[in-house]
Amino acid sequence: MIRIALPNKGRLADEARQLLEQAGLTFDARGDRALQASLGDDFLALLVRSRDIPEFVADGAADLGITGLDLIEECGRPLDQLLDLGFGRCRLAVAARDDSAIHTVDDVPADARVATSFPGLTRRYFETRGKTVFVVPVSGAAENAPHLGVADYIVDLVSTGSTLRMNGLVEIGTILASSARLVARHGLLEDADTRRLVTELVAALESVIRARGKRYLMANVPRDALDSVKRIIPGLSGPTIVEVMDGGRFVAAHAVVDQRDLYRVIAELRAIGGEGILVTRIERLMP
Ligand code: AMP
């Protein structure tokens, strides 16, 4: 059994679980508060706090883990990063009061007080800039610290920036761009059977992630417009062309399309006489 540590709650929990299920690993948890869930014949989920996952995996209490890059880097223990899972995107940023005269990290005084729940990354970041700042460790809600007079600066996770703005803070530097990662403990892949199972898992997860931004498009197009069709929907290796039993005027063209291009592609297909256009989601994509 390969033990995979997953967030039990919080921002990453649902998406981690959804991704595994889409990749074909079905959760079978006994009871709502179960600490373990079966994920089929080869994998066992250990449900723990996101922040504890890097330590668990580094210690060998779990073989694999899914958690944020911010937490992996903060932990600082060596782990093998296998895959960027594409969700949980945020950045670890330095922020100052919006009425302060400090607009860049270079202007932060060397003896500044910085409130954060990322003391390790914060210290290292300022040290590489030649500053030994005073870190005020907090377990969350660092954005309150400047108002309480506890610190002048904070280092915290930001995605839209609205929490900072609401608290009268402004971002003055970025320490790290983060997203959820699949990590393995060192040495896990040395065993051939384990390596095969983990490689299959990575391929399955990758196929789901790749499929997310894509759609499968089908359209009936005039046979004499095939050159244009090939230009509009090149697909992965040229569109698939299927006969339509209409006496030969139309053929059906199928192709994988980038979701972002759909609007334009549909308009262009209609302009060359395309009709019967169908768009569907793709569950997995392995080129
Ligand atoms: P949790 O504390 O379990 O809710 O998980 C927090 C983790 O979710 C962080 O360590 C990040 O990896 C990730 N995350 C993604 N977006 C954000 C955000 N806007 N604010 C805080 N954490 C985020």
Domain with CATH 3.40.190.10 in the chain: 2-86+179-211, 90-178
> Residue 77: its pLDDT value, please?
96
pLDDT by residue, tens only, the chain of 287 residues: 999 999 999 999 999 999 999 999 998 877 666 799 999 999 999 999 999 999 999 999 999 999 999 999 999 999 999 999 999 999 999 999 999 999 999 999 988 999 999 999 999 999 999 999 999 999 988 999 998 989 999 999 999 999 999 999 999 999 999 999 999 999 999 999 999 999 999 999 999 999 999 999 999 999 999 999 999 999 888 999 999 999 999 999 999 999 999 999 999 999 999 999 999 999 999 98
Q: Are strands 2-7 and 43-48 parallel, antiparallel or unpaired?
A: parallel
2-86+179-211 topology per CATH: D-Maltodextrin-Binding Protein; domain 2 (3.40.190)
Contact status, residue 250 vs residue 279, Cβ threshold 8 Å = no
Give yes or no for residue 6 CB within 6 A of ligand 1: no
Separation between Cα atoms, residue 188 and residue 80, nearest integer Å: 9
> Residue 185: its pLDDT value, please?
97
Residue nearest to atom 11 of ligand 1 (CA): 68
Test site for ligand 1: of 6, 8, 12, most ligand atoms within 8 A of the Cβ: 12
Give yes or no for residue 5 CB within 6 A of ligand 1: no
- Alpha carbon separation from 245 to 111, 227, 252 (Å, rounded): 78, 21, 10
- Domain spanning 90-178: which CATH class is it, in words? alpha beta
214-281 topology per CATH: Alpha-Beta Plaits (3.30.70)
Centre of ligand 1 from the C-alpha of residue 9, in Å: 11
Which residue pairs, CB below 8 angstroms and at least 24 apart, start in 36-43?
39/4, 42/1, 42/2, 42/197, 43/1, 43/2, 43/3, 43/4, 43/197, 43/201
Centre of ligand 1 from the C-alpha of residue 40, in Å: 28
Q: 10 Å Cβ neighbour count for 203?
A: 13
> Residue 34: its pLDDT value, please?
75
Centre of ligand 1 from the C-alpha of residue 167, in Å: 18
Domain with CATH 3.30.70.120 in the chain: 214-281
Ligand 1 atom with least separation from CA of 11: 4
> Residue 141: its pLDDT value, please?
87
Give yes or no for residue 178 CB within 6 A of ligand 1: yes
